[in-house]
Amino acid sequence: MTSGGTESNNTALYGIASQKKGKHIITSSIEHDAILEPCKHLERESYKVSYLPVDKYGLIDPEDLRKELSHDTCLVTVMFANNEVGTIQPIKELARIAHEKNAIFHTDAVQAVGKVAIDVKGFGVDLLSISSHKINGPKGVGALYIKKGVKISPLLLGGGQESGLRSGTENVANMAGFGMACKLARDNLDQNISHFKKLTNRLVSRVINEIQGTTLNGHPEKRIPNNVHFTFLGVSGEDLIIKLDENKIAASTGSACSVRIQRPSHVLKAMGFSHEQITGSLRLTVGTTNTEQEIDDTVEVLKKVVKELRTVSPYKSKYNF
């Protein structure tokens, strides 16, 4: 167990890098900061890090991974599903290619667990990060799956808890809560996926058809079922979030996990979006307790506030909405 997805990802990266089996790491240009920041730190420690590009849907071309691999590659880490646009990567193929050069393959599956079926053996991953609160469990607890036989070094040293991989007193209450959340997510997976798709299909259909100048971002099919990401041309996403919050609707323009000052999404930049497209972006996600009525209410609020914001937009003269 760990304290969450960030610790799981850091443990995977540093735990493999410190094994001294190579000084080359491959990741993608659209990873969460819990991967990108450790990679930047490792670069300062003389590791080479390659950042794979993505297409306009946020998808990696597996051949790009094959081109970057070398006998010095110790780790490939690619997120299962993107936390902003929801695109799902071809994890099974990427893991297979990584293993061709005997590299360890890690995936940050924080956004994917509970939204899609995940079989670590079937996908062939060596390490996989998950977080409790993403499946309605307690905050402050997560886990790192480690394939039998994969050796990693611990971040924390001390009393040798967690088989020597994470010393310190275990957070037993949260671990138990996380375990129950995993059981419920597994037992209700098909039902939840069906519910998510019903709501997001309704949301996407209504928004695209009823709000002019709107696009759905990410892959139209290869995406987690609870995520939708829109661009509203001529609108500031930050202003839109404020208006939505006033109407008791929670949304974000990028990663909901960051406490830093807002900056343009590195994910959308990597996907080739213009500054205007990035500025007008909005992410909405649905949960197990959301209803069709809430979707309809959200669309009505969006229609009203997008129209209002476009009347004062600096791009007003550019479009004829």
pTM above 0.75, yes or no: yes
pLDDT value at residue 316: 63
* Boundary (domain end) residue, out of 132, 164, 186: 186
Statement to judge: residues 9 and 22 lie in one domain: yes
pLDDT value at residue 155: 86
Statement to judge: residues 210 and 147 lie in one domain: no
Does the annotation mark 257 as catalytic? yes
Q: Do residues 141 and 132 touch, judged by C-beta distance below 8 A? A: yes
> CB under 8 Å to 68, separation ≥6 — which residues?
26, 50, 52
| Domain region containing 50 | 5-186
pLDDT value at residue 165: 87
Statement to judge: residues 67 and 208 lie in one domain: no
Statement to judge: residues 129 and 89 lie in one domain: yes
pLDDT value at residue 164: 78
Statement to judge: residues 160 and 116 lie in one domain: yes
Residue 127: which H helix or E strand, with range? strand 127-131
* Boundary (domain end) residue, out of 137, 160, 186: 186
pLDDT value at residue 291: 97
Statement to judge: residues 158 and 63 lie in one domain: yes
* Boundary (domain end) residue, out of 140, 160, 186: 186
Statement to judge: residues 232 and 118 lie in one domain: no
Distance between CA atoms of 278 and 230, rounded to whole angstroms? 10
Q: Do residues 38 and 13 touch, judged by C-beta distance below 8 A? A: yes
pLDDT value at residue 106: 98
The number of domains in the chain is 2
CATH number at residue 108: 3.40.640.10
Statement to judge: residues 226 and 117 lie in one domain: no
Statement to judge: residues 114 and 237 lie in one domain: no
* Helices and strands of the chain, counted as H and E runs: 11, 9
Statement to judge: residues 211 and 267 lie in one domain: yes
Distance between CA atoms of 61 and 108, rounded to whole angstroms? 18
Statement to judge: residues 220 and 103 lie in one domain: no
CATH number at residue 241: 3.90.1150.10
Q: What is the pLDDT along the chain (321 residues), one digit of tens a residue?
A: 999 999 999 999 999 999 888 999 999 999 999 999 999 999 999 999 999 999 999 999 999 999 999 999 999 999 999 999 999 999 999 999 999 999 999 999 999 999 999 999 999 999 999 999 999 999 999 999 999 999 999 888 898 888 878 889 899 999 999 999 999 999 999 999 999 999 999 999 999 999 999 999 999 999 999 999 999 999 988 899 999 999 999 998 765 555 455 678 999 999 999 998 999 999 999 999 999 999 999 999 999 999 999 988 776 667 666
pLDDT value at residue 312: 84
Q: Identify the active-site residue in 39, 74, 182, 257.
A: 257
pLDDT value at residue 321: 65
Beta bridge partners of 156: 166
Of 83, 302, 294, residue with least CA distance to 214 = 302
Q: What tokens does 70 get?
A: 């070398």
pLDDT value at residue 27: 98
Statement to judge: residues 177 and 225 lie in one domain: no
